[in-house]
């Protein structure tokens, strides 16, 4: 069972690393584009969306990366002392984590739809809003993909713990 705990928290840690890397790139690259193409309003709108959402990914990735090692060691120790109590408590924690990820998924889905609406409505005309829409589409799509992977891993971990309880 400790292998399952290690697998889950190493997956959480990897997702944290990927979020930090993606957030760093999306916070830096648009700033460089605006520095080079400073007179184009599209890149200014693009930068606003990517820097704001890239910073969010950067912070959430750092938090999940740093918390994964501590949770892994705590859960391994708890499993070795009381397997039944571990299964009950871990099930509740993972279900709460899945609910949190689903709420996060809804937010990124709404951002994706808002970005699509801005791209469709302002494709001819306001280039600042169009750039903002393109940035929202890219970051909304990235957030949805990250959250779907996280839900899949959490569901596998929850199934393994529930199999342990039976």
The predicted model gives 85-112 an average pLDDT of 85
The predicted model gives 112-119 an average pLDDT of 88
Confidence check: pLDDT of 166 > 80: no
- Report pLDDT for 91: 82
Q: CA 69, CA 96: separation in Å to the nearest integer?
A: 19
The token pair that represents 24 in the structure block: 């760093």
The DSSP secondary-structure symbol of 128 reads: H
- Report pLDDT for 29: 80
């Amino acid at each position: 069972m400790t292998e399952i705990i290690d697998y889950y928290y190493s997956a959480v840690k990897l997702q944290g690393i990927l979020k930090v890397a993606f957030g760093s790139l999306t916070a830096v690259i648009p700033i460089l584009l605006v520095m080079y193409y400073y007179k184009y309003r599209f890149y200014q709108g693009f930068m606003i969306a990517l820097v704001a959402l890239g910073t969010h990914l950067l912070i959430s990735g750092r938090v999940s990366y740093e918390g994964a090692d501590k949770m892994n060691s705590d859960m391994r120790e708890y499993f070795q002392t009381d397997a039944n109590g571990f299964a009950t408590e871990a099930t509740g924690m993972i279900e709460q984590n899945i609910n949190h990820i689903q709420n996060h998924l809804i937010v990124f889905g709404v951002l994706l739809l808002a970005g699509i609406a801005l791209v469709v409505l302002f494709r001819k005309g306001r280039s600042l809003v169009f750039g903002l829409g393109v940035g929202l589409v890219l970051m909304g799509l990235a957030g949805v993909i990250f959250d779907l992977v996280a839900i899949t891993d959490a569901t596998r971990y929850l199934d393994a713990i529930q199999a342990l309880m039976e």
